Amino acid sequence: MAVPGFQELMLPALRAVEDGKTYTNAQVNERVAEALSLTADDMAEMLPSGRSKLFYNRCGWAKQYLISALCLTHPKRALYTITDRGREVLAAHPEALTVADLKQFPELEEFLKPTKPQVTGTVGPEKAGTGDVDPIEMVESGYQQMRDQLAKSVLEQVAESSPEFFEQLVVDLLVAMGYGGSRADAGQAVGGSSDGGIDGVIKEDRLGLDAVYIQAKRWANVVGRPVVQGFAGALDGKKARRGVFIRTSGFTKEALEYAALVEKSIVLVDGPTLAELMIDYGVGVTEVASYTVKRLDADYFEGGGISA
């Protein structure tokens, strides 16, 4: 099964400590996962950023809501114990527990109260989407949606560009990624008429210790193995070991398998990958805003001001 939303994790989290004993954070997480019969694949699912696991993030928010509603107590860092209120909540809601159920407690309302006025039309985490999305997921999901839309727009612009502009774009991207030495060097190396399936050659590093051969075309059709095989043959003609094959379309399964098995190093860059690289390296896009999400450093406070 998929990892449930954080609200669905609140009841099993409360049941995990209903015997009145004190449990560590890891023990609570383990009991919740066991109660829901989550698989190893479920537990390995990541947030959109790929930096943390979905289950642990949602379980953390479930416990945070229970603590804020005074259903759980947090005697020490990473330790949890049920409260008398928690036992009452379990008795009153044996089948399901939601944020709406906990809103009867003023302590939770205080926790949910925004510190700054919200823009008209915005909602808190318990009301967003399906009603089961925590704040971190809201941020990451929103970011991913904007990035996906940006990648789509970038690819559309690339497809509408001229062949000459596309060659310039490829040069700018490779230089931004650390290839080619300088923009001037790279500009001289890439572009012009194709030579036996090779559109250009660029330095692998600033010292020019090795070369990377390039073929870059704006194609609408999916690229098959014969075309990639032809590029590999062109590399043989240059006695080259490395090549980058850039297309605005995609590659067939056979083309990908061939590139992976061939002795020389050939990297296939399809349209979506090209757009992602342009975003990552700031080519054809500009930064509008940057936000840093921070968390409380419990070690700082417990260490008397000294953070690890």
Of 64, 91, 70, the C-alpha closest to 82 is: 70
pLDDT band of residue 161 (cuts 50, 70, 90) is confident
At residue 84, does pLDDT exceed 80?
yes
How far from 295 is each of 128, 292, 300, 307, CA to CA, in Å?
21, 10, 12, 13
**Residues contacting residue 80 through CB under 8 Å, at least 6 positions apart:** 17, 22, 23, 24, 25, 28, 63, 72, 73, 74
In-domain check, residue 120: no
Mean pLDDT of 47-60: 82
pLDDT band of residue 28 (cuts 50, 70, 90) is very high
**What is the spatial distance between Cα 70 and Cα 306, in angstroms, rounded to a whole number?**
29
Using the 3D structure, point to which of 75, 94, 114 is the last residue of a domain: 114
Task: Based on the fold, state whether residues 167 and 246 are members of the same structural domain.
Answer: yes
pLDDT band of residue 128 (cuts 50, 70, 90) is very low
**What is the spatial distance between Cα 91 and Cα 88, in angstroms, rounded to a whole number?**
5
Q: What pLDDT was estimated at residue 133?
A: 60
Task: Based on the fold, state whether residues 23 and 103 are members of the same structural domain.
Answer: yes
Of 137, 150, 168, 197, the C-alpha closest to 7 is: 137
Of 19, 143, 140, 10, the C-alpha closest to 67 is: 10
**E strand or H helix that includes residue 194:** strand 190-195
Q: Of the segments 59-73, 143-157, 175-189, which one has the largest average pLDDT value?
A: 59-73
In-domain check, residue 275: yes
In-domain check, residue 139: no
Using the 3D structure, point to which of 114, 129, 152 is the last residue of a domain: 114
**What is the spatial distance between Cα 159 and Cα 219, in angstroms, rounded to a whole number?**
8
Find where tokens 């066991």 sit.
34
Task: Based on the fold, state whether residues 189 and 273 are members of the same structural domain.
Answer: yes
Number of domains in the chain: 2
In the structure encoding, which two tokens stand for residue 167, read together? 């060659």
Task: Based on the fold, state whether residues 169 and 273 are members of the same structural domain.
Answer: yes
Other C-beta atoms closer than 10 Å to the C-beta of 265 total 13
Task: Based on the fold, state whether residues 167 and 258 are members of the same structural domain.
Answer: yes
Of 35, 52, 53, 51, the C-alpha closest to 43 is: 53
**CATH number for the domain that contains residue 243:** 3.40.1350.10
What range defines the domain where residue 68 resides? 6-114
Task: Based on the fold, state whether residues 107 and 177 are members of the same structural domain.
Answer: no
Task: Based on the fold, state whether residues 108 and 210 are members of the same structural domain.
Answer: no
Residue-by-residue DSSP string for 125-139: TTTSTTT---HHHHH
Q: What percent of the chain has pLDDT over 70?
A: 81
Q: What pLDDT was estimated at residue 304?
A: 54
Question: Cβ distance 63 to 72 under 8 Å?
Answer: yes
In-domain check, residue 85: yes
| Position with higher pLDDT, 182 vs 2 | 2
In-domain check, residue 290: no
Task: Based on the fold, state whether residues 82 and 191 are members of the same structural domain.
Answer: no
At residue 191, does pLDDT exceed 90?
no
Q: Please report, to the nearest 10 degrees, the dihedral formed by the alpha carbons of residues 31, 46, 131, 59 taken in order.
A: 20
Question: Cβ distance 190 to 174 under 8 Å?
Answer: yes
In-domain check, residue 285: no
Of 147, 116, 134, the C-alpha closest to 62 is: 134
Task: Based on the fold, state whether residues 80 and 175 are members of the same structural domain.
Answer: no
At residue 48, does pLDDT exceed 70?
yes
Task: Based on the fold, state whether residues 167 and 274 are members of the same structural domain.
Answer: yes
In the structure encoding, which two tokens stand for residue 186, read together? 């790279």
In-domain check, residue 69: yes
Q: Tell me the pLDDT tens digit for each residue of 253-304.
A: 999 999 998 888 899 999 999 999 999 999 999 887 777 777 666 666 655 5
**CATH number for the domain that contains residue 106:** 1.10.10
pLDDT band of residue 76 (cuts 50, 70, 90) is confident
| Position with higher pLDDT, 79 vs 119 | 79
In-domain check, residue 156: no
